[in-house]
Structure formats: C-alpha cells, structure tokens
Homo-oligomer: A and B are copies of this chain.
Amino acid sequence: MPVTGAWRDGDPVGDRRFLQLDRPFVTEGGVVLEGVTVAYETWGTLDATAANAVLVCHALTGDSHAAGPAKAGHPTAGWWDGMIGPGRYLDTDRFFVVCANILGGCQGTTGPASSDPRTGKPYGSRFPTPSIRDSVRLQAHLQEHLGVGRWLAVVGGSMGGMQVLEWGVMYPERVAGLAALATAPAATAQQIAWSAAGRAVLEADPKFRHGDYYDAEPGDGPHRGLIAARMLAIVHYRSADEFTRRFARASIEPVERRFALDHRFEVERYLRYQGEKLVQRFDANTYRLLNLTMDLHDLGRDRDSVESALSRIRVPVMTLGISTDFLYPATDQRRMVEVLRAKGVPVTHHEIHSDVGHDAFLVEIDAVGSALADFLTGIEKG
C-alpha cells in the first residue's frame, strides 16, 4: 500500500484538467502559496451566453470526480454519478457542470501531499490551514478562467454546502442560485467535537508523524489512524435505523467464537471496509486539515454575525434537511431557513425522509435530485 492515497504528479490524470494560478495565493490565515494548482472536471458544454454553468462543491472526502466511472487516475466512480449526466437531474445536455478539488485536497489541487516549490518536497505539516473562503476564492479564479461571469447555481452538501453559502456572501453578483444541502452556516460545537475526536485519533497514530510521513516506506503510512478515524466518522454519517435495517446484531463469527476477544460484528466489518477503502484514495494530512477547515467554518467571522452574513445573500436559496441526519440535523437547517427568510432571502426548503442519515444527500439521488432539478429550472426561468 502506498504511504498516501493522494493523487500525485506523474499519476494518471484521468478526467482531471488543471488550472495553475500565475500569481501567489494568500490564504485567509496570511500564508503565501506559490504556483497553486486547481484540479477540476467538467461535463456538458458552456452555452453561447455562458449562462448554464453549475458549480458542484464536494464534501470532505470527495474530489473533482463527481461523475464518471472509476478508471486510471480515479479509483472510484463519481461521488454523485447518479446525479450528473445526460438526462440526469443535473442534466449535462442542458448544463455545463464543473467540480473542482478543494484547496488542501489530495486529488490534484494543491495540498499537503503536493511539492512545496520552495523545497521541492511535500508540504506535509507545513501546509497552511485553508478556510472555506480560501477554496471559494480559488473557485472564483476557476470561474474566470472558464469564462463564466455568473454561475447559474452553486450546489453542494455538507462541506460542499459551506462553500455554497460562502459563495452567496463573498460573490453575490457572480452566482444566480445557491443549493446548500445538509450543512451549517457555522460549525456547531458538536460538529467540532466529532471532528476533533477524529483528528485526535489520526494524530495518535505514531506513523502520522505530525503530518510528515511522505518519505515513509510503502505500507508504513498512517493507515491505522486514518482507518479508525473514518470508522467513527461513518457512524455519524449514517443512522441508527439504517444500521439496524442492514446489520442488526449480525456477527461474522461462528457461534463458538462469539466470546472471542477479536469477535467482529457485521456492522464492524462494514466500518472497517469503509476505512480500508478510504486509505487507498485519500491522504491523512488532507483528512486532518479539511476537518479543521470545517471546524473553522463560520459565515459570521469578521462579518459581525452569522445572521448579518446570511443577510448579504441576494439570490434564491434551496436548502435541504434529512430526517435522520444527526450530524447536520434537519432542525438546524430549518433554523437557517428562518434566518434567511427573516432577511428577505427567497428560500425553497425541502426535508427528505430517509433512514440513511447525513449521507442521504449522496445516496437519495431521486429525492435530492428532483428537488435540485426543480430549483435549477426555477432559476433558469428567473
């Protein structure tokens, strides 16, 4: 197993395209990054008036490969493959769909596994913590590069939804609609707590070496820490009802091993499988970094308050809550809707019933997609 699951220079590019900035990029934290590159993918064709472009923002462990099959350079199929394509909800016969890997990511956009041009070595622990606003500024560069004056919509769930909300506040004139799914205007204490626990788990792996592990021998990366962190994350991405439905109390052991110290339940095997899959395609530093990025997410930072920031949004917003989401609860989505409406922002709010938990925004393609498609049609009609 490689030391990191990050995509690195020399790996097959797959469907990625790249934009390298021709000037330094200064993060919100004040760090200057040279030669920042954004990896992105597009589907469909930009129309003559450049009015049909939709930016899709990925969540924590996503990347630019939102649609399309697994192939060289893309270890997994697109994370929203059922959503994006000809005749699908984000219909690429109508829309020009764009998805970029986030700053600090590990799938082609500059991040901790990238070479620091000053040293020629991977940044590792020296990569600065990006803010959600940094990523949105980078997406704005991409927008210019693509010749898109105004996104028809910016769309995303979870960490993607955080970017959507920042788009509305930072560039109200450069977007016509916002779809923020199962997300938060500012990370809550409990969201920070889960995230902090995951970071602690990763940092407890001595092979993490504070983030400077890229010169380790193959197989000697911080795999156990990342697997364990992913295992606990999966539990809060899903729901009690779904786990009961799928796994109940089933064990993978024969009855004579039921009191064995290494007894494994089906649900445990599932968690471990998810962890082992992530390690193949993700970078531990990016995992730590983007968890912190989400914790630091606060629309209200340096803007008086969350309410005041939300009041800057000038375009129609679609929001979506999931009945069994206890990480970004439906009640919190409704609270945000109330604030937006009180500020005069037009909001279409959906609540979907699903036992899948937070991940329903990725899994319940029909419920989420039909809501999204209606919203986009409404925006198109103005």
Residues of A within 8 A of B (CB): 27-31, 125, 128-129, 131, 186-190, 192-194, 196-198, 200-201, 204-206, 211, 224-225, 227-228, 231-232, 234-235, 239-240, 243-244, 246-249, 258-261, 263-265, 267-268, 271-272, 275, 288-289, 292, 295-296, 298, 326, 329
Contacts and interface: CB of A to CB of B under 8 A. Distances in A.
Nearest to A257: B29
A117 to B, nearest CB: 20
B131 A259 contact: yes
Given A188-B244, A189-B248, A200-B231, 18 more contacts: A30-B259, A129-B260, A186-B249, A188-B240, A189-B240, A189-B267, A190-B267, A193-B234, A194-B235, A196-B268, A197-B271, A200-B268, A201-B228, A201-B231, A240-B326, A261-B288, A263-B295, A326-B326
A271 B289 CA distance: 19
B263 A292 contact: yes
A192 B259 contact: no
Number of copies: 2
B27 A259 contact: yes
Which residue, of A128, A187, A268, A272, has the highest number of chain B Cβ atoms within 10 A?
A: A268
A235 B275 CA distance: 20
Contacts of A248: 189
Contact of A292 (B131, B193, B261, B272): B261
Contact of A204 (B125, B227, B243): B227
Nearest to A241: B190
Contacts of A187: 249
Contacts of A206: 206
A358 to B, nearest CB: 13
Contacts of A326: 240, 326
Nearest to A187: B249
Contacts of A205: 204-205
A297 to B, nearest CB: 10
A271 B29 contact: no
A296 B265 CA distance: 9
Contacts of A263: 129, 292, 295-296
A166 to B, nearest CB: 16
Given A193-B268, A196-B231, A261 B125 contact: yes
A239 B193 CA distance: 10
6 contacts: A30-B259, A188-B249, A189-B267, A192-B265, A193-B268, A196-B268
A138 to B, nearest CB: 16
B228 A200 contact: yes
A224 B196 contact: no
